[in-house]
């Protein structure tokens, strides 16, 4: 069974990220590099990670016209990353262009996933700011997931609460990558809709994106291992086992 934890490296520079990762000596966890770290350090830090066998989810959430996204993905596909993402709101043509860009780079192993609606988007924002009025947030998320699937993408970023419905709509092999995870009893920080690793496993999450619960833990490696164990114990009882 594959390691279900992706550690969010929400650090301001490579030096801080490397100091944190030094504690994982001998292991190469799956890590997420987001806009802050990538814009600060660029491709060289991705190269540093890949040289040391870390699996990398590059969380840049591309959203532009199809031609631009195609060209950008062709560049990112050359970084040997394991996962990358776009906004589903860019539409089917843009998502297909993103996929084609990766293929053009020969990055056949790189999973391409879509952000449906950001977890910071509420029903009120959806209807009053974005003027998406004739649907609920949940329905919008499922619909965007279906568009991503039809565009040839491998999965979506979503909340644990949405994962099961997405599996129902898009099939069990369609990846659900879920942030907002907190081990029982730990600080919720600014996350509104949280779930425990156990809930994530039961509700069909394939990968849990976890930042502060691990990066700010007094014992990050122990916390990381505890989270994996909790997920694995529960995963045995769930119907959405997508990994062999």
Residues lying near ligand C5P in the complex (CB under 6 A) are found at: 8, 10, 34, 118-119, 157, 179-180, 189, 191, 209-213
Q: Please count the other Cβ atoms lying within 10 Å of the Cβ belonging to residue 204.
A: 24
- Show the CA angle centred on residue 180, arms to residues 143 and 69, nearest 5°: 50
Least gap, CB of 181 to ligand C5P (angstroms): 6
CA geometry: angle 87, 120, 178, nearest 5 deg: 65
> Which is closer to ligand C5P, CB of 74 or CB of 204?
204
Q: How far is the CB of 191 from ligand C5P (least distance, A)?
A: 5
Q: What is the C-alpha to C-alpha distance for residues 11 and 140, in angstroms, rounded to an integer?
A: 32
Secondary structure of residue 31 in the 3-state scheme: strand
- Residue (98 or 113) nearer to ligand C5P, CB: 113
Q: What value does the CA radius of gyration of the chain take, rounded to a whole number of Å?
A: 17
Distance from C-alpha of 74 to C-alpha of 187, rounded to nearest angstrom: 39
Pairwise CA distance, residues 16 & 37, whole Å: 10
183, 230 in Cβ contact below 8 A?
yes
Residue 179 CB, shortest distance to ligand C5P, in Å, is: 3
Q: Kindly report the backbone phi and psi dihedral angles of residue 80, in degrees, each rounded to the nearest multiple of 5, phi listed first.
A: 65, 30
Q: Is the Cα dihedral 113, 114, 120, 122 positive or negative?
A: negative
- Report which residue's Cβ sits closest to ligand C5P: 211
Specify the DSSP element, H or E, that contains 22.
helix 14-22
Known active-site residue 61: yes
Options 18, 50, 61, 146, the catalytic residue: 61
With respect to ligand C5P, which residue has the nearer C-beta, 151 or 213? Answer: 213
CA distance 163 to 207: 11
Residue among 90 and 179 whose Cβ is closer to ligand C5P: 179
Q: Considering the complex, what minimum distance in angstroms separates the CB of residue 160 from ligand C5P?
A: 11
Q: Are 91 and 117 a contacting pair, CB within 8 Å?
A: no
34 vs 70, beta carbon nearer ligand C5P: 34
Residues designated catalytic: 61
């Amino acid at each position: 069974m594959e390691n279900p934890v992706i550690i969010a490296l929400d650090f301001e520079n490579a030096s801080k990220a490397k100091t944190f990762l030094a504690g994982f000596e001998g292991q190469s966890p799956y890590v997420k590099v987001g806009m802050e770290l990538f814009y600060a350090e660029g491709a060289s830090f991705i190269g540093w990670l890949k040289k040391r066998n870390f699996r990398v989810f590059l969380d840049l959430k591309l959203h532009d016209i199809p031609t631009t996204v195609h060209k950008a993905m062709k560049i990112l596909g050359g970084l040997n990353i394991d996962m990358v993402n776009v906004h589903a709101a860019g539409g089917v043509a843009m998502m297909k262009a993103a996929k084609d860009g990766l293929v053009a780079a020969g990055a056949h192993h790189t999973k391409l996933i879509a952000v449906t609606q950001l977890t910071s988007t509420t029903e009120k924002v959806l209807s009053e700011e974005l003027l998406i009025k004739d649907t609920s947030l949940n329905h919008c998320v499922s619909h965007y997931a279906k568009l991503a699937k039809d565009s040839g993408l491998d999965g979506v970023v979503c909340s644990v609460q949405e994962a099961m419905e997405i599996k129902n709509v898009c099939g069990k092999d369609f990846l659900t990558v879920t942030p907002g995870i907190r081990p029982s009893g730990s600080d919720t920080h600014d996350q509104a809709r949280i779930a425990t690793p156990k809930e994530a496993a039961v509700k069909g999450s394939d990968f849990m994106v976890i930042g502060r619960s691990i990066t700010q833990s007094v014992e990050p490696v122990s916390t990381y291992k505890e989270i994996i164990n909790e997920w694995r114990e529960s995963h045995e009882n769930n119907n959405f086992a997508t990994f062999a």
